[in-house]
Amino acid sequence: MLRFAPSPSRDFLVEDLKIALLNYIIAKQKNEKFLIRIEDTPKEESIEGRDTEIMLILEKFGIVHDFVYHQSQHINIHQNLAIRLLKSKKAYISKDSKKLDFSELKSIKDKKEPFEIKIDGKGEIEDFTILENNSNPSPIFASACDDILSEIDFIIREERIKDKTKKERYIHKLLDYKEIKYIHTPPITQKNITIMELFKEGFIPDAIINYTILKSYQNPPQKIFYLKDAISWFDIKNISKEPKEFDYEELRYLNREHIKLIDDKKLSNFFGFADVNIGKLAKLYLKECSTLNELNSKIMPIFKPKNFNNSWAKEMKLLSDIIFNAPAFEKFDEFENYLSNMSGLSGEKLYKPLKLLLTNSEESPELSLIYPLIKSYILEVTS
C-alpha cells in the first residue's frame, strides 16, 4: 500500500501536491490501495478546517483515496508501542537527564512527574524521543507506527526529510516490520507557493498536474498531458534527481494549452454561462490570456453596461440606438454594412465605437470573430 500524509498545520503547497501525485501514480500502476493520513500530531497545532480543505484539494486533482484517517485516532496505539519498546529495553525513560528503565514507569506515573521515552540508538543512530513529556507520540514515531499499522511498503517523500526516514527505518527495525522502500525526491523550489493561491489566480487543476509532473520527471514523452496519461508512461527510475526552479511562465503556457482543450460549454460555466459560444469566445482571448482570471477580465465586461462618457460617446450612443431597432443578422459583414448605412459612419469612425460597444475594450480579437458568438446577446451587450 502507498500513502500520502499531509499536515493540517500549514498551507497545502505545490511540493505537497507533487508528493501526493507521485505516490498516487505508483499506487495506480501497482494496482495497490492508496491511503490518505492526516498527520495531526501534535493535534493542537492543526488549523481548524484545514483537513477538509486538503481533501477537497485532492478531489479537485482527481487523486482518489481508498482509505482516510487522522493520525490522532491512533495515539493510544502509539503509546502502547512505545511502552513495548521500553519493556524490551529498546527504549528508555529520560527524566532529569537520567536513563531509567521500564521498572521505574509506574512510580513516575503515580507521582505525575514529566518524562520522555527515547529510542536507544545503541551506536547505530543518535537517541531520539518517541513519547514526549505530555504522553503524546513524537511526529516521527507516530508516522513510523502508522506506516506499520497500514502495511505501507513504498513511500516517495521529500529529499529534505532523509533524516526523518533514517529514524523511521530504525523504528520499523525495532518493531520487526519489513523494510519499506523509500525514494526521496528533490524540491520544486520556491516552496511557499500554495495550491489555493494558484486556484485564486485562475490556474486549473489539469495544468497544475501537468506542470508538477513535468518538473518531477526526466524526459517525459509528452509536453501536454493529463494525469491518466502520466499513469500510463511514468517510470519511477526517471524521477528528477535535481531541484527545479518554479517557472510561472511555463505554468501559464501549460494552463493556456489546457484551457484550449476544455469543452466549450464547460469552459463557459466558469463565466456563469452554459453556452458553447461563450466558451469559444473565451478561447479567442487565449493569445493574450493564460488564466481563468485573465479571461474573466475580458469576457465579463462584454456583458456589463457600457461607458458612454468617452471620446466615442456620441457614435456609441448612435450605434446602440440603431442596434436596438435593427433586425437580426447572421454574418458580421451584413451587420456592419447595416450600421454604416443607418449611421453614416465608416472606417475607423465606425469600427472603434463599435468595438467599444461590443467588447468594452479598445483591444480585442477581430469583431468578425466575436460577433457570431455574441449575436444572440446583442441587445444586452450594446446597452
Q: Look at residue 281 and tell me whether its pLDDT is greater than 70.
A: yes
pLDDT, tens digit (0-9, with 9 covering 90-100), for 315-335: 999 999 999 999 999 999 999
pLDDT, tens digit (0-9, with 9 covering 90-100), for 34-65: 999 999 988 889 999 999 999 999 999 999 99
Instruction: Report the chain's C-alpha Rg in angstroms.
Output: 30
| C-alpha cell at position 205 | 487543476
Q: What is the CATH number of domain 1-65+186-261?
A: 3.40.50.620
- Give the phi and the psi of residue 112 in degrees, each rounded to 5: 55, 40
Looking at residue 191, its pLDDT comes to: 65
The answer to whether the CB of 353 falls within 8 A of the CB of 315 is yes
Which whole number is the average pLDDT over 23-33?
98
Which whole number is the average pLDDT over 1-26?
97
Looking at residue 29, its pLDDT comes to: 98
Provide the mean pLDDT of the chain.
Answer: 96
**Domain 75-137 CATH (choose: 3.40.50.2000, 3.40.50.2300, 3.30.70.580, 3.90.800.10):** 3.90.800.10
pTM: 0.94
Q: Do domains 1-65+186-261 and 75-137 have the same CATH topology?
A: no
Per cent of the chain over pLDDT 90 is 92
Peptide bond into 139 cis (omega under 30): no
Per cent of the chain over pLDDT 70 is 100
pLDDT, tens digit (0-9, with 9 covering 90-100), for 90-138: 999 999 889 999 999 999 888 888 999 999 999 899 999 999 988 899 9
Domain spans, the chain: 1-65+186-261, 75-137, 313-381
Q: Which residues of 247-271 are buried (b: 16+ CB within 10 A; e: fewer)?
A: eeeebbbbbbbbbeebebeebbebb
Q: Which residues of 188-204 are buried (b: 16+ CB within 10 A; e: fewer)?
A: beeeebbbeebeebbbb
